[in-house]
Structure 1
Amino acid sequence: MKRILLACSSGMSTSLLVSKMKEVAESKGIEVEIWAVSQDKVPSEMERADVLLIGPQMRFLKKKLASDAEKVGIPLDVIDPVDYGRIDGEAVLNKALELIGEN
């Protein structure tokens, strides 16, 4: 099972995206755990994740979070703003799996 962590400013705006990603994963038979947290919970939550995707509104934190992600050995990227705005669960799921090396 792959574990995908999403982070946004408050932890709320990605909840719909998480739901869409889970729907896509289930329809494709992909076993994943996907959850979203606010930026202050990222350091403690990333330790149990296989990949970290951050919301476009947190792009400015990428460098700092990349350092933390490197310490725990997980890839990190910013969610594409278009995919985020469209709540494109399939595109974001595919990006996460690509970063893990599963796609």
Structure 2
Amino acid sequence: MKILLVCAGGMSTSILMRKMEQYWKEAGEELEIKAVGLGEYQDVYQKYDIVLVGPQVSYRIKEIKENTNLPCAAIESFDYAVANCPNIMRLAKRLYAEKNN
């Protein structure tokens, strides 16, 4: 699965990205993930299956969906804050299933 993480500047999501990579690896799942800011996602989204959006930019999710035509969802604030990788993985898998249906 290839996930694009979008936040305001890409900094906080890069921390989450590393935790997600470790969690997926321990779960035996394949994952390619990249964290970018709002100003960058349009340059790279074509390489990804789904888009996960940080809660601080969730107000832009409609625009991101329209621009990428990919399944998109905002990560819940609490899950984002504590890097709740099991919940984030479930969200990602649900979106990925949408893409493949």
Calculate the TM-score normalised by the size of structure 1.
0.88
- Equivalent positions of 1:19-98 (< 5 A) are 19-70=18-69, 74-98=70-94
Q: Kindly indicate whether the alpha-carbon contact (under 8 Å) linking 1:79 and 1:92 is maintained by their aligned counterparts in 2.
A: yes
Q: Percent identity?
A: 31
CA RMSD in angstroms comes to 1.3
Amino acid at match of 2:66: S
Q: Distance in 2 between matches of 1:99 and 1:63?
A: 15
Q: Kindly indicate whether the alpha-carbon contact (under 8 Å) linking 1:7 and 1:55 is maintained by their aligned counterparts in 2.
A: yes
Q: Distance in 2 between matches of 1:12 and 1:89?
A: 18
Q: Distance in 2 between matches of 1:83 and 1:17?
A: 10
Stretches of structure 2 that go unaligned for 5 or more consecutive residues are none
Calculate the TM-score normalised by the size of structure 2.
0.90
Q: Which runs of 4+ in 1 moved over 3 A?
A: none
Stretches of structure 1 that go unaligned for 5 or more consecutive residues are none
Q: Once the 2 structures are TM-superposed, how far is the Cα of residue 28 of structure 1 from its aligned partner?
A: 1.1
